[in-house]
């Protein structure tokens, strides 16, 4: 269905029992976010907040809260978009099957942006930042944030919408040192197109004009998060996905999306920054306060009866998980087409996406050799870690599967396959002193840390332990051994203090185990943690704790470890120190008083009783 506005989409969802309205006044300070989080957890409908305290505007959330709902929103265009992406990967198909692919060509006509007549009003009303629903998501957040923004910039060397960039970079609306209604914070991370635009503007000594669109047809928000190849306009993709050309005008030199509910225009002047954050982020921790670009506000517009869309991120899964699933549905095998030999890749949501990546490749280099060991998958691993946002991966587990039965989307089965085959003395490869995800605080500084590749291929060499070996039950200083998954044991010890102390503690563990390698031959990984019972309680806990709280170069040890010609390996299990470190960001925790207040919505007689 071609929605011309966000409201059209919400009314359609309501018609199909996929939206609930809350008419009573709701506080944007923590309360709206809390309601959203509970509704998402219950896999409930989208929410329309009709009475936001302190604002005349309505707000909506959980719009994309399930993959089924996201697919429903784009039910009339999803197949055509998938077909066009497939044709781009393999254009010969269009030549071989011209009639079959004719509808794709017609759909592509919707992709061209449409400049509205210059005499058409830009927006119905001009407002201030303080008029917006200023939603504060987590108790320690630095202020209110835009969490579904579409941040638009143009290339100063090639102006115009076809070379523009549209990205979803969070925006801080108030708090910290920002001058109210005049300044806001613009947060963007590594591998973002806006950085290229700002660099060019800085080099010419000119400010970078920025337009922040909020709302509008759902296809606009999805296009802002799509991992499109450089040079392909997000606006053309929005038109394609929404079956409606992207409409725009210019005002004072700023691009305005005329279908958006809200537009904030302004500029970034050179290298001017101010502290942005903290912000409760999608790894399940706060991203801390750092200096990020300062956006000077020019004008703020709103449509009549505008609706403010928002989401809440936190420890996954959350609504952005559904975004990721939808992107996977749309793109299909596009990444595999880009990287020769890659068959499947999966960023593990439970571990916060970028900290953990699973991949399946091919092994075709030496088919004449009876000895099976990683070769081509090491080449693929390097290609993966040099490709777009995949390059932010911290842990990459990669293998090849001759049976074609393995799936990277299934963490337990995939890890079992790897750990059954990995040679711990040969198949672990480190990248030190490199860049990692901005939101990952396990490293040595902002954007700085290490990576590791676990590459396994060949015959099964161990039967993963399904119970805890006796030698792990009588350790000193390490206690409460728990089976996190076959072949992986969680061990609890005292809180982490310093890197020097941790190294000594790992020596103590090694001294107790290095003479018991036979007893540990079916254990591949030992996770040292603060709470072994929590880690082992469910697979998602193991994935989250292990891979968000460790920096490979600093926190990976091994029983009977060695270094030979700069290659590190171990003869016994790998040890991952996944304790909370002093430099880590705080874990997200809800406000008890707000949670008690929100209980009323979900209890008997409450408007959300059905999902309580």
Domain-wise residue ranges, the chain: 6-73+112-310, 333-456, 470-577
The predicted model gives 52-70 an average pLDDT of 97
Question: Which pLDDT belongs to residue 49?
Answer: 98
DSSP H or E stretch at residue 139: none
Question: Which pLDDT belongs to residue 437?
Answer: 85
Q: What percent of the chain is predicted at pLDDT more than 90?
A: 77
Domains 333-456 and 470-577 share a fold: yes
The predicted model gives 1-19 an average pLDDT of 95
333-456 classified as CATH 3.30.420.40: no
Half-sphere exposure of 368 (CA within 13 A, CB side): 0
pLDDT above 70: residue 342: yes
β-pair type (525-529, 574-577):
parallel
Per the CB < 8 A criterion, the answer to whether 397 and 359 are in contact is yes
pLDDT above 60: residue 140: yes
Quote the crossing angle between the two packed helices 319-331 and 78-89, to the nearest 10°: 50
Per the CB < 8 A criterion, the answer to whether 292 and 276 are in contact is yes
Architecture category of domain 6-73+112-310 in CATH = Roll (2.30)
The total of other beta-carbon atoms located within 10 Å of residue 299's CB is 18
Mean pLDDT lowest among 126-135, 195-204, 417-426? 195-204
Mean pLDDT lowest among 150-154, 194-198, 405-409, 510-514? 194-198
470-577 classified as CATH 3.30.450: no
Helix spans in 45-101 (H): 67-73, 78-89, 92-96
């Amino acid at each position: 269905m071609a929605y011309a506005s966000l409201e059209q989409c919400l009314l359609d969802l309501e018609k199909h029992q996929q939206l609930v309205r809350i008419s009573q006044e709701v506080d944007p300070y923590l309360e709206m976010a809390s309601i959203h989080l509970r509704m998402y957890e219950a896999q409930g409908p989208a929410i329309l907040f009709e009475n936001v305290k302190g604002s005349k505007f309505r707000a909506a959330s959980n719009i994309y809260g399930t993959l089924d709902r996201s697919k429903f929103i784009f039910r009339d265009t999803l197949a055509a978009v998938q077909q066009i992406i497939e044709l781009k990967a393999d254009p010969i198909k269009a030549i071989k099957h011209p009639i079959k692919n004719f509808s794709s060509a017609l759909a592509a006509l919707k992709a061209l942006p449409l400049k509205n007549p210059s005499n058409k009003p830009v927006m119905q009303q001009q407002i201030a930042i303080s008029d917006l629903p200023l939603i504060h998501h987590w108790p320690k957040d630095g202020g209110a944030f835009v969490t579904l923004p579409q941040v638009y910039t143009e290339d100063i060397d090639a102006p115009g919408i076809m070379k523009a960039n549209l990205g979803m970079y969070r925006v801080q609306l108030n708090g910290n040192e920002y001058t109210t209604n005049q300044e806001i914070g613009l947060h963007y991370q590594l591998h973002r197109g806006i950085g290229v635009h700002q660099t060019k503007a800085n080099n010419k000594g000119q400010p970078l004009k920025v337009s922040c669109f909020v709302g509008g047809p759902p296809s606009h928000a999805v296009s802002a998060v799509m991992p499109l190849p450089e040079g392909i306009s997000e606006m053309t993709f929005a038109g394609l996905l929404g079956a409606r050309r992207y409409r725009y005008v210019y005002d004072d030199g700023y691009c305005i999306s005329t279908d958006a509910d809200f537009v904030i225009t302004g500029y970034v002047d050179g290298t001017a920054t101010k502290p942005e954050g903290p912000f409760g982020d999608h790894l399940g921790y706060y991203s801390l306060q750092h200096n990020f670009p300062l956006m000077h506000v020019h004008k703020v517009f709103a449509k009549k009866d505008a609706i403010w869309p928002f989401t809440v991120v936190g420890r996954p899964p959350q609504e952005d998980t559904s975004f990721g699933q939808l992107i996977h549905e749309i793109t299909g095998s596009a990444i595999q087409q880009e990287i020769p030999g890659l068959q499947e890749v999966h960023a593990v949501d439970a571990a916060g996406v970028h900290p953990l990546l699973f991949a399946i490749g091919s092994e075709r280099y030496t088919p004449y050799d009876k000895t099976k060991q990683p070769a081509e998958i090491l080449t693929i691993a390097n290609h993966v870690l040099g490709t777009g946002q995949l390059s932010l991966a911290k842990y990459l587990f990669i293998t090849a599967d001759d049976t074609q039965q393995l799936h990277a989307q299934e963490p337990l089965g995939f890890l079992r396959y790897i750990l059954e085959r990995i040679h711990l003395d040969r198949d672990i490869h480190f990248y030190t002193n490199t860049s990692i995800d901005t939101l990952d605080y396990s490293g040595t500084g902002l954007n700085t840390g290490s990576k590791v590749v676990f590459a396994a291929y060949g015959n099964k060499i161990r039967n993963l332990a399904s119970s805890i070996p006796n030698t792990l039950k009588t350790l000193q200083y390490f206690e409460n051994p728990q089976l996190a998954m076959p072949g992986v044991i969680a061990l609890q010890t005292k809180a982490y203090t310093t890197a020097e102390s941790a190294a000594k503690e790992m020596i103590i563990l090694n001294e107790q185990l290095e003479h018991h390698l036979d007893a540990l031959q079916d254990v591949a990984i030992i996770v040292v943690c603060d709470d072994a019972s929590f880690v082992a309680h469910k697979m998602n806990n193991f994935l989250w704790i292990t891979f968000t709280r460790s920096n490979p170069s600093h926190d990976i040890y091994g029983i009977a470890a060695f270094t030979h010609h700069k290659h590190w390996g171990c003869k016994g299990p790998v040890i991952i120190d996944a304790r909370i470190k002093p430099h880590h960001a705080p874990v997200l925790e809800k406000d008890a008083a707000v949670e008690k207040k929100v209980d009323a919505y979900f209890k008997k007689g409450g408007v959300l009783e059905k999902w309580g």
